[in-house]
Amino acid sequence: MENQVYLASNERYAKMSSIYNRCGRSGVLLPKVSLGFWHNFGADAPYERSRAITRFAFDHGITHFDFANNYGVPAGSAETTFGRLMDDDFRPYRDELFISSKAGYLMWDGPYGEWGSRKYLMSSLDQSLKRMHLDYVDLFYSHRYDPNTPIEETLQALVDIVRMGKALYVGISNWPLEQLRLGAKYLKEHDVPLLIYQGRLNMLNREPIEEGILDFCREEGIGFIAYSPLAQGLLTDRYLDGIPADSRMAKEHFLTSDRRTPELLDYLHQLEAQAKASGRTIAQEALQWVLDQQGVTSVLVGASSVEQLKNNIAILG
């Protein structure tokens, strides 16, 4: 693959109507399945595998790739990998891609390396653009709410980032409902309407529904993208027979082995039976459940192989 010029599949937009959803009441269409670069795309992952997964996604109409400043090991290296992918494969397709990044969690030492100040958000986005070899991102998120920074400071930084042409749209991730309401109002009043909310939603974690966030987004015409729709791999066949050595759980960091309880295995066996009855895999059943929730624009999956992604996008028909 190394020396071959990448030509994207001519078939990539053949199934437009089954692949895309409108993002809230905006002009943007997003693929119902989007690809996240949190794990498996950093300097610790084989470049050619990252490249194969990314090419496969784009060849199948998956136009939205999601990043944050701190993704990859070491932090930032997923964006660096993408910069290389832009140079090697994707530069001719820049206008067909919808690239997001975020800032909010710890990225560098000292008082300006995390949370929600204007100083941090602006500097972090500049760093992300350099790593990704991009002039602008399509979407920039506040990755978490900062209770110690005036909310207007964080929101005005988002407005100004759009005005400066460094992002086309802004998003909010992981903010509580009350602050989300204030944020959406502020952004609307400053003519930079909130495009999308990113929150964790899967069959095992329904907080955005229970807390009213999904309803709020739907009513306000804000898109909703569900992260970890497979509960980091728990809602697949990955852990049915043990903990594979190459899995996220084997690293015992973000997904720890205490999550693999007898109750979870019982639940998975029921889900497997239900999935089989509808001709699906557990992962497909879990993704379809999320997509079926009213107001969900896209499920944001991770993948450590082309096979996994292939399995996941099969729900698009």
Footprint of ligand NAP (CB under 6 A): 36-40, 66, 143, 173-174, 198, 227-233, 236-238, 247-248, 283, 300-304, 308, 311-312
Of 90 and 175, which CB lies nearer to ligand NAP in the complex structure? 175
Of 164 and 250, which CB lies nearer to ligand NAP in the complex structure? 250
Instruction: Count CA atoms within 13 Å of residue 289 on its CB side.
Output: 23
* Cα dihedral 120/126/129/130 (nearest 10): -120
Of 190 and 211, which CB lies nearer to ligand NAP in the complex structure? 211
Of 5 and 293, which CB lies nearer to ligand NAP in the complex structure? 293
| 19 phi, psi to nearest 5 deg | -100, -30
- Asked if 197 contacts 227 with a C-beta cutoff of 8 angstroms, the reply is no
- Asked if 309 contacts 301 with a C-beta cutoff of 8 angstroms, the reply is yes
Distance CA 47, CA 45 (A): 6
DSSP letters along 259-293, please?
G--HHHHHHHHHHHHHHHHTT--HHHHHHHHHHHS
3-state secondary structure of 26: coil
- In sign, the C-alpha dihedral spanning 241, 207, 156, 114 is negative
CB of 128 to ligand NAP, least distance (A): 13
CB of 173 to ligand NAP, least distance (A): 4
Of 191 and 228, which CB lies nearer to ligand NAP in the complex structure? 228
CB of 5 to ligand NAP, least distance (A): 28
Q: At what angle do helices 47-59 and 77-85 cross, to 10 degrees?
A: 60
CB of 100 to ligand NAP, least distance (A): 8
CB of 78 to ligand NAP, least distance (A): 8
CB of 257 to ligand NAP, least distance (A): 12
Of 157 and 231, which CB lies nearer to ligand NAP in the complex structure? 231
Which residues are paired to 173 by β-bridges? 198
Of 117 and 174, which CB lies nearer to ligand NAP in the complex structure? 174
Q: Name the residue among 218, 216, 265 with its Cα closest to residue 239.
A: 265
Rounded to 5°, the CA angle 108-160-112 comes to 20
CB of 94 to ligand NAP, least distance (A): 20
Distance CA 311, CA 243 (A): 20
